[in-house]
Amino acid sequence: MTTNLTRDEAQSRSHLLKVKTYTVHLDVSNAESDADTYLSRTVVEFKARADAQTFIDLIADSVSLVQINGEDLSPAEVFDGARITFPVREGKNTLTVEARARYSTSGEGLHRFTDPADGKVYLYSQFEPTDARRVFANFDQPDLKAKFVFSVTAPEAFQVLSNQAETSREATGDDAVTHYFAPTLKQSSYITCITAGPYEGATDTWTDPVTQETVDLGVWTRASLVDHLDAADILGITKAGLDFFSAEFDYPYPWGKYDQIFVPEYNLGAMENPGLVTFTDAMIFRDKVTDAMYESRANVILHEMAHMWFGDLVTMKWWDDLWLKESFADYMGGLALAEATRFTDGWVTFALRRKAWAYMQDLYPTTHPIVADIPDVEAAKLNFDGITYAKGASVLKQLVAYVGREAFFAGSRLYFKRFAFGNTELADFLECLAEAAPERDIAGWADAWLGTSGVSELSLALTTGDDTGSAGTAGSAGDAGSTGDAGSAGDAASSRGAGAARDAARASITGARISQSDSAEGAKLLRPHTLEIATLGRAGRDIVPLDSVVFDFDEESAEVEQLIGRTRGDIALLNYGDHDYARVRLDEASTETAVTAVSRIKDPLSRALVWSALDNAVRDGLLPVQRYLTAYARSLGKESNPGIMAGLSQTALLCLDQWVAERNFETAISGLLGAALDALATAKSGSDAQLHLANLVLSLTARTARCIEANPSIAMGRAFATQVLTVPVGEEIDSMSPEVAEEAAPETTPAAEADVASEASVASDTGAASGGSAASEANAASGSSTDGSSADRAAAAGKGADSGSATASRRASARAGASGPAEHAAASLPFRGLINDHALRWNALTALVSLGWADQTDIARETHLDQSSSGRLRAETASAALPLPIVKMRAWEAILDAAQLSNDVLSAIISGFVAPSALPITEVYVDEYFERLRGFWADNSIEIARRLVLGLYPRWSDDEEGVVERTDAWLDENADAPAALRRLLIERRDDLARAIFLKSRQTSRH
């Protein structure tokens, strides 16, 4: 049996068949029972170009009927578990298949979820790229489009939805109802959809301003979340998007109704099923969130809406051209966000966060062209990555700058009209664009941008009349090897550099040369760039644009004559306006200004671009990590853009988790905690900044498990986490004086001082917190494991217990710091307007658990207060994060039995398992991880396997170089392993190698 459909197989089948209609019936009337399977019946009408043997895709527990043109075939002979092989005759054919398909818990196929809040059962489907075959028999490839007619029998209380509107329903007895749906328009199998359950929501209508056609709108979620649905906001964004796309594309919305449903345990952000778009219900905000989260949700809504044209109306023939839908949707979603909604700064978040994903992916050894080589569906699954999405969208921004907006949209409109309801390749879109922009070399542009890997690096060398200009990169902005704490690193160098920058700012430019290179392809790969270059200078306390020029070049270097005679300014910014895709190198003077005064840049997009340049310099070892963290610490309390705040915090935490050397870690994190606490104390009451900073303090505190020195900032962070747990949900977290820190250190015996039997006793209570997951209910006896490694892990637990004196010392030091003098800059920390909620409480509890300052009793108490599905997941993470070897052992055993866990519960346990702790209690699992890799991949669906391989990769090990060596050895010994699995390992190894490199460039400074 093979579940991995290849491109060659798909092409052969496409040449043979033309599919007309699927009539699909699903009977899920047993969904609320313990039944594992449901009835699936499919009738396919199609034509064959010749007499031949072919196959239809189906992954099912059993098949009871296979009938081709009225002739019964033996299921045992023709079904291998993933395919049904059968003969076809030239001309018309009819195939009927009846099977028992399995309810999914992996988020692939038809997923079943029981809401712990009220016990209600929900179903939804997720099929991309080839998981429709897990629900009904079909030719599961994008270029065999057909019409689909669905009917579903479900419990009477269920709301059942599909791509098209319901036409009728009839009671079938036993409290079940059969729902019949109108035929779809011609579409691919991967975007068909069924949802069923007691979903609740709101409805509305939208009228096309051009055609005056009315479209029914609906927004749905689980009953336990409906009070938080925020339907007015979601429907408002929906209407604005439909207005925008219908006008810009000059093609009416083609799919009839427009339902959007937010579903649990979803593997993706969303999926563009026409007429029934599915979203993760993590986008239903039951707790307060920052505006960055609302912006993100709006962006996803618009991204999926753009797919109604790019991807659904016109679809790629095979996954090689996945970019034809994902890159376009990513770009169009961002464009609509900025131009049609209140989120006018949408491109700011894109510049700092979305493009960072693209840059990271493009630096991996596994980088690939935007138009990729996808030999099979396993490779397709992994190509939903930063290149296909974010790089593709960035390159489309460059294409729009290259050909002009009007020509780009003219080409798009021609593309829709010419290929509606069909399938295309790259050449088809380029032909349409060439017709719209005949003066541009579209083929040459495509070869340079779409057919190559890697990212261009751009630098600008300036000279000035008084020779105070500078040339070079961020590498000259301070010694890369010199480091210090986040509050003082490189300050002397910064002062000297800032003085030089101010002198240069007053001079006129006498020479300007732009250069490009590509670290992946080599300096000889030259791409055509259309970009804007700006000089920024001081105006009072602000830094504002002084001059800008638009420049085209495709050489290795070129003189920018338009800049001659203009004022140098404080920052020379390449890619001003962010129309290009390139990693920008700031010159020395610009870098000096950036690290000391980036928050003064008035324009948020320019500010984001400068931060992006600093981020890339850090990743490449050209800017010391501590200098970056110094700049970040200075920005806290000053940055007002929610997207920038979120992006900077993400990078700062990455620095702490992976790039700061152990010897510098405590100094770095205490500096950031101090800055964050100071900013929190002065944040505006009830503001986005206040909420963001509160969560940042908790995130930083959770990372202090190995900090042992008496440090007031760390003590205050721990005290804040403790205080959050004393305030009920819905009440204000009042001011906190430093003296409360003394109460933050519990008097209970440190967990690691207990013997193994005591640890087992504590750990065996985990069921109280989680409601009985596999991790929580595992046998507490250390000898209960079924594999031989259990004894080793039990021995490791004993070692952890014996080394309790080290933990006791750390706890004593932490307690000393908590009760020491109040040296923090804020003598009293006011948090007026900061209202407590479940998210803050769980973040605080998880931080304290990682420190060993909270135990299973605290987790059980919090779970009792929050019995939602998200509360259950947070409890699973907290339980697995307890710094006890016996707890880690049973979390590992639960993870190994992944088939018994849902996708999200598995990820929650993994997250807790790898959480930082004071002792290296997970080191014993490194070798076993590598031993089990092939089993992870072979024994699970690709989604579950991906979570196991990525989530458990031991970058948390203290022996980072040993893990790199172990990874290299595995790759050498497993050259025949699936390419998709090897790719995941190669990328994780690259992350770890980068961390080792960056740490090696640091020196201690006290």
> Which residue(s) pair with 606 in the sheet?
none
3-state percent helix, strand, coil for the chain, nearest multiple of 5:
45, 20, 35
The mean pLDDT value of the chain amounts to: 88
Tell me: the pLDDT tens digits for 588-602? 999 999 999 999 999
Query: Domain 314-449's class?
Result: mainly alpha
What are the backbone angles phi and psi of residue 80, rounded to the nearest 5°? -110, 10
Structure tokens at 771: 């409601």
Span 273-286, average pLDDT: 98
Both structure tokens of 516: 């490009």
Read off the DSSP letter of residue 835: B
Produce one character per residue of 635-650: b if its CB has 16 or more CB atoms within 10 Å, e if not.
bbbebebbbbbbbbbe
pLDDT band at 1 (very low <50, low <70, confident <90, very high): low
CB contact at 8 A, 120 and 198: yes
Mean pLDDT over 912-928 rounds to 90
Structure confidence at residue 897 (pLDDT): 93
In the CATH scheme, what is the homologous superfamily, with its name and number, of domain 1-196? tricorn interacting facor f3 domain (2.60.40.1730)
What pLDDT, on the 0 to 100 scale, is given for residue 3?
Answer: 86
Equal fold, 1-196 vs 314-449: no
Task: HSE, CB side, 13 Å, CA atoms: give it for residue 593.
Answer: 30
Please give the pLDDT value at position 738.
52
Half-sphere exposure of 747 (CA within 13 A, CB side): 2
Show the tokens assigned to 534.
């700006």
Q: What is the pLDDT of residue 706?
A: 86
Tell me how far apart the alpha carbons of residues 549 and 532 are, in angstroms, rounded to a whole number: 5
Q: Which residue reads 């721990």 in tokens?
A: 718
CB 305 within 8 A of CB 238: yes
pLDDT confidence band for 489 (50 / 70 / 90): very low
Mean pLDDT is lowest, of 507-511, 740-744, 929-933, for 740-744
Buried b (16+ CB within 10 A) or exposed e, 295-314: bbbbbbbbbbbbbbbbbbbb
Whole-number Å distance between alpha carbons of 822 and 738 = 6
**Residue 825: band (very low, low, confident or very high) from pLDDT cuts 50, 70, 90:** very low
* Angle, alpha carbons 415-417-418 (nearest 5°): 65
Residues 258, 216 contacting (CB under 8 angstroms): yes
pLDDT, tens digit, for every residue of 632-646? Answer: 999 999 999 999 999
In contact, 589 and 494? CB cutoff 8 Å: no
Does position 479 have pLDDT exceeding 90, yes or no? no
Nearest to 5 by CA among 965, 997, 686, 942: 942
The Cα 657–Cα 703 span in angstroms is: 8
CA nearest 499: which of 422, 579, 621, 596? Answer: 596
pLDDT of 777 > 60? The answer is no
Query: Helix (H, G, I), strand (E, B), or coil: what is residue 954?
Result: coil
According to DSSP, the β-strands at 109-114 and 121-126 are: antiparallel
Mean pLDDT of 443-460: 95
Look at residue 775 and tell me whether its pLDDT is greater than 70.
no
Confidence of residue 830 (pLDDT cuts 50, 70, 90): confident
What is the per-residue pLDDT for 505?
A: 74
pLDDT in tens, 725-767: 999 999 999 766 555 555 554 443 333 333 333 333 333 333 3
CB–CB of 253/305 below 8 Å?
no
Cα end-to-end span (Å), the chain: 61
Residue 748 burial by Cβ neighbours in a 10 Å radius (0-12, 13-18, 19+): exposed
Reported as a pLDDT band with limits 50, 70 and 90, residue 95 is very high
Q: Which residues are identified as catalytic?
A: 304
- Rounded CA-CA distance 390/518 in Å is 18
- Nearest by Cα to 696 from 731, 645, 742: 645
pLDDT confidence band for 709 (50 / 70 / 90)? low
Cβ proximity of 509 and 464 under 8 Å: yes
The yes-or-no verdict on residue 877 having pLDDT over 50 is yes
- Using alpha carbons, select from 153, 149, 104 the residue that is nearest to residue 127: 104
What mean pLDDT do residues 677-706 have?
95
Average pLDDT of the segment spanning 72-78: 98
pLDDT at residue 705 greater than cutoff 60 = yes
pLDDT reported for residue 993: 98
Q: Calculate what percentage of the chain has a pLDDT beyond 90.
A: 82
What pLDDT does 558 receive?
97
Residues in Cβ contact with 444 at an 8 Å cutoff, skipping those fewer than 6 apart:
528
pLDDT band at 519 (very low <50, low <70, confident <90, very high): low
Only one residue has tokens 């979340």, namely 225
Q: How confident is the model at residue 282 (pLDDT cuts 50, 70, 90)?
A: very high
| Global pTM value | 0.90
Q: Are 751 and 861 in contact (CB under 8 A)?
A: no
pLDDT score recorded for residue 917: 80
Q: Where are the domains of the chain?
A: 1-196, 314-449, 456-620
